[in-house]
Amino acid sequence: MRVVAAPDKFKGTATAAEVASAICEAARTASWRCDAVPMADGGEGTLDALGGANRATLVSGPLGDPVRAGWRLVKGHAVIEMAAASGLDRIGGADENDPMGASTSGTGELISAALDAGARHVLIGMGGSATTDGGLGALRALSPFPRLRGVELVVACDVTTRFLDAAEVFAPQKGASASQVALLQRRLERLAQIYLDEHGVDVTQLVGGGAAGGLAGGLAAIGASLTSGFAAVAEQLELEDMIEGADLVITGEGFLDAQSFDGKVVGGVAEMAATLDVPVLAIAGEVYDGAEERIDAVSLVQRFGVDRARAEPLACVAEVVADHLSSW
């Protein structure tokens, strides 16, 4: 019997690689073969899922302070996480953020560093941003744009939110007040018109254009292609080939809810497994919005209590896997 372990991170408690390892350890104890495929959806963890950083560059943080951002370059292919340069975690969270001033300049500088190092294909993960600048900071850092000729920029979106919805949907999570959300909304509207006038691209119509506070749309204006972050990672890791012929797939994340089925890892894994007629088990720290009605799911908090689930998530995951496999 063979199981594929394809979880996302349990944010704040365990990485995707740690969760996959815990799943496989329990599976092998139960005499199952296990293939570990730690996943990501374009958010934090994408770089790790695709091999981890082998370069680091000093760039501008979200509020202008210098930060050292890790990224990856192999044979002309670069992988960048915007969160490494312009992420909310780089400044200590929403309470420390200036939602009006937070800029994606550092992400543009990171892409520029990849180009200077010879990258001809750049994958940029969008999740975890502190910004709602519509990508303006990044574009200024990347100018002049003729240097992008012959370079393939691929934006790995972890959401499907459109450009003009980015402020309303995400800015409050980045510390913006109601009045600031309104101001950011108007800024995005002006930027959308500028991008249309200067680059001929209507970013308002792009699915995922609002990812990372509109950074995705801004990069699309200068020629980047937008794609599902899950699909991009799954393709590079050959997840479909791994799942084909398996007896079970185990996925998971910290919080399983309705959004988990909208471009996120759990939903993507479940859909892919369904096409291959392979059953799926989802393990999550907590389960909301009736998500357990859409997928066979186990909540660690419900099963083990909040204290143990948060203190020993990997042990809890292993116990759930062992119990589940014992019933086969």
What pLDDT, on the 0 to 100 scale, is given for residue 36?
98
pLDDT mean over 189-205: 98
pLDDT digits (tens, 9 = 90+) for 13-26: 999 999 999 999 99
* Distance from the first to the final alpha carbon of the chain: 10
Q: Percent of the chain having pLDDT more than 90?
A: 96
Please give the pLDDT value at position 328: 86
What share of residues in the chain are helix, strand, coil (percent, to 5)? 50, 20, 30
66-98 tens-digit pLDDT? 999 999 999 999 999 999 999 999 999 999 999
Rounded alpha-carbon distances, angstroms, from residue 147 to 115, 118, 150: 8, 12, 8
pLDDT per position as a tens digit, 297-322: 999 999 999 999 999 999 999 999 99
pLDDT at 262 over 90: no
Label residue 163 by pLDDT band (50, 70, 90).
Answer: very high
Helix (H) or strand (E) holding 282: strand 280-287
pLDDT at 245 exceeding the cut of 90: yes
* Class of CATH domain 46-230: alpha beta
Judged against a pLDDT cut of 90, whether residue 12 lies above it is answered with: no
* CA distance linking residue 27 with residue 30, whole number of Å: 5
- Say whether pLDDT at 31 is over 90: yes
List, by residue range, all CATH 3.90.1510.10 domains of the chain: 46-230
Pick the CATH number of 2-32+247-326 from 3.40.50.10350, 3.30.160.60, 3.20.20.70, 1.20.5.510: 3.40.50.10350
Give the separation between CA 122 and CA 120, rounded to whole angstroms.
7
Query: Looking at the chain, which residues constitute the CATH 3.40.50.10350 domain(s)?
Result: 2-32+247-326
The mean pLDDT value for 51-58 works out to 97
What is the pLDDT of the chain when averaged over all its residues?
97
pLDDT at position 259, please? 87
Is residue 280's pLDDT more than 90? yes
Q: What is the mean pLDDT of residues 230-239?
A: 96
Buried b (16+ CB within 10 A) or exposed e, 43-56: bbbbbbbbeebebe
